[in-house]
Chain A
Amino acid sequence: MIEFLASRLYYLVSFLLLGVGTYMMVGNANLVKKVIGMNVFQTGIFLFFIVSAFVSGGSPPLLTAPEPYVSPLPHVLILTAIVVGVSLTAVALGLIVRIYEEYGTLNENAIRKVISDE
């Protein structure tokens, strides 16, 4: 059991990060913290990909290093995903700034209350 968990610990941690991200997106009332939660969720997925590319005793995929190499393909996909994630965060934070100008609060429940009162 312990050995099984030790050999899959990275995967388990990536699932736990997905859990923490979900908790933040659902449970935290502050909009900025929801966006941080989205980023934690993303890095959980990144961890899953990068771990799947790893091989024990492998070199980075620089072809001057001795074999075996880790797989370069998940690295490329995650590099793209990181940049897309930043774009997403930037737009989300822009929307948050506008919401604050409009409603004067970043608390989800307070914003809902203002909307239902209108």
Chain B
Amino acid sequence: MIGVLDVVLLAFILGCALATALLRDVLGSIIAFSAYSLGIAVIWVFLRAPDVGLTEAAVGAGVMTILFLVTIAKTSRPSGERTLERIDYRAAGIAIALVAVLSTTLVALPPFGSAESAVLTDEVTRYYLANAYEQTEVKNAVTAVLAGYRGFDTLGEAAVVYAAGVSLLVVLKKQVFA
């Protein structure tokens, strides 16, 4: 069942997301986004996903913020007196329509934390949990799946990171990362 802390954390990340969207100053928006990433990292720990929480805190709140800050240091920040942006009603209409359409699926979703949900009763989940230690001798099932059973996924991920590095050099017309 959902607790008070869950509700507070969810309210915090929603507030940070709205601040990110509405602050006019891009620097303020980036700072709100890193607070948002931090809140999300805490939520991952709450949802018993410590590996994802660590990655989110290091990458989402750390690397991502640095990338954004480097970008605005190399480009510009819109100046002006107003703190908040004007609301774009056309975009707000599209966003509300999307949320409304997605919300119609809420009745079909399992309640939060239900042990009968499709993910938890699935054969794949049960197979990994039952056999991960015997077959890989790794006690962290996430690591066993990441590097063992789904190792090709991780290889594909490495290929994506390499491709991103190369395309970044091509786009910026540089020979090396300096």
Write the residues of chain A forming the contact surface with B, with a CB cutoff of 8 angstroms.
6-13, 15-20, 22-24, 26-28, 30, 32-33, 35-37, 39-40, 43, 46-47, 50-64, 68-80, 82-84, 86-91, 93-98, 100, 105-107
Determine if B2 is an interface residue (Cβ-Cβ < 8 Å). yes
Query: Beyond A39-B64, A70-B47, A73-B124, is A22–B172 a contact (Cβ under 8 Å)?
Result: no
Q: Which residues of A contact B13 (CB under 8 A)?
A: 13, 17
0/1 interface trace, chain B 17-46, chain A, CB 8 Å (1 if under): 110110000100110010011001001100
Using C-beta atoms within 8 Å of the partner chain, give the interface range for chain B: 35 or more
Nearest first, the 5 closest Cβ-Cβ pairs linking A and B are: A27-B91, A56-B113, A87-B164, A27-B88, A61-B141
CA distance A75 to B145 in the complex (A): 10
Asked whether A93 lies within 8 Å of B68 as measured between CB atoms, the reply is yes
Q: Which residues of A contact B146 (CB under 8 A)?
A: 76, 79-80
CA distance A13 to B123 in the complex (A): 28
CA distance A52 to B141 in the complex (A): 17
Asked whether B140 lies within 8 Å of A39 as measured between CB atoms, the reply is no
Q: Of A33, A62, A84, which is within 8 A of B157 by CB?
A: A84
Determine if B176 is an interface residue (Cβ-Cβ < 8 Å). no
Q: Of A22, A61, A73, A82, which is within 8 A of B98 by CB?
A: A22
CA distance A83 to B119 in the complex (A): 23
Q: Of A28, A40, A90, which is within 8 A of B33 by CB?
A: A40
Q: Which residues of B contact A91 (CB under 8 A)?
A: 164, 167-168, 171
Determine the residue in chain A with the shortest Cβ distance to B75. A100
Q: Of A32, A50, A79, which is within 8 A of B47 by CB?
A: A50
Query: Beyond A54-B47, A80-B154, A86-B64, is A26–B94 a contact (Cβ under 8 Å)?
Result: yes
Best-surrounded residue of B40, B49, B60, B88 (most CB of chain A within 10 A)? B49
Q: Of A10, A35, A54, A96, which is within 8 A of B48 by CB?
A: A54
